[in-house]
Homo-oligomer: A and B are copies of this chain.
């Protein structure tokens, strides 16, 4: 790919026109990519997996983030730990992909051996003066909440993760996701810069034209609208919906299901947006007809109508319903390529074919992910073309894109870019 950088990347954040898409270089240049990786994937907290990935003691799974390879481990006390996946002897990769139920990590190269807490317990031929305690696996900051696993690769990790985890824990507690199981696990590659994937997720302006399955369960005007563009009747219907929705939210909150919107963008190191939405159609879940796909609900709850608990994180977006949760996170692969992993979490006692039909459970978001991937690829091709110029965001339907972008630029500046 030949790219003539259109801005000097050393002043990246000053080249942006507020309320517009970003200059091309921020979507395509190697320099911008490395800056993004540094600021948003190495120095920030990111979502990299789920407790359901390593349910039992001695389970471990590798996650590769840029050039970092991290081992997520369930230790003997059932705690989640994270280590750099590199032997302290000759540096060899310790685990290729995943292991289950082990008690020790044995390096395949020269058999150096570590326990699940990362301590070096065996290193042949190193001599009597060799100090094993100086050669433990190097730990990585790790935290969990609501079944999610977060890491921060910097030693000096942002402290505000506590507030974010507390908020997530409160809202997700009824779903008991740390004990859920993965009913389906999908990783796709989007042919676009990770910020285009995020931007695409932050708005539903494109939903009507591109997501026929998903919009069944969305209330049309919830995506935002220009009041001058809609008919008086539509407006009246929507006002009625808003009154009903407010009542529903109040009822949820009264029952302890925290539902009101919270936005942590501006001024926050760790991004969080969350809000519980009323679902259209049967009102229960993101399925074609809006009815719950899983008979055995998540956690102890028995009410199938808990709406759509929607969560935005810097590299992730989630929907939790009474019957299942569909959680997605992305990892940039290159300036123009992004891996997107989506898991469908259900009650660990739910049985496929008995309590749920896998196709019904997954079909809306499998279709939606592919549609989004196609749009992101088109957007990438467009913004990397010579004739691209930043374009205006809608004040009605792309507000969250703009707000997310402001947060992105503020973080760049905070790190000196």
Contact = CB atoms under 8 A, between A and B. Distances in A.
Interface of A: 1-4, 21, 33-34, 37-38, 42, 66-70, 83-94, 96, 108-111, 124-128, 130, 135, 138, 140, 153, 199, 205-206, 209-210, 224-226, 228-229, 334, 375, 378-379, 381-397
A135 B69 contact: no
Contact of A381 (B37, B69, B383): B69
11 contacts: A68-B386, A69-B381, A86-B382, A89-B391, A108-B209, A109-B209, A110-B205, A125-B229, A125-B396, A127-B228, A138-B389
Q: Is the interface of A mostly helix, strand, loop or mixed?
A: loop
Contacts of A87: 382, 391
A127 B394 contact: yes
B382 A92 contact: yes
A199 B109 CA distance: 12
Contacts of A125: 205, 224-226, 229, 394, 396-397
B34 A386 contact: no
A70 B387 contact: yes
Contacts of A3: 67
A126 to B, nearest CB: 6
A306 B389 CA distance: 48
A224 B94 CA distance: 24
Contacts of A334: 2
A81 to B, nearest CB: 14
Given A2-B334, A69-B385, A109-B206, A378 B225 contact: no
Contacts of A199: 90
Contacts of A90: 21, 199, 379, 382-383, 391, 393
Contact of A84 (B66, B386, B392): B386
A343 B210 CA distance: 37
Contact of A389 (B67, B88, B392): B88
Contacts of A126: 226, 392, 394
Given A108-B378, A375-B108, A67 B385 contact: yes
Contacts of A66: 2, 4, 386
A194 B90 CA distance: 15
A70 to B, nearest CB: 7
Nearest to A386: B68
Which 9 pairs show the lowest CB-CB distances between chains A and B?
Answer: A84-B387, A68-B386, A93-B381, A69-B385, A91-B383, A93-B382, A91-B382, A92-B382, A86-B382
Contacts of A394: 125-127
A347 to B, nearest CB: 36
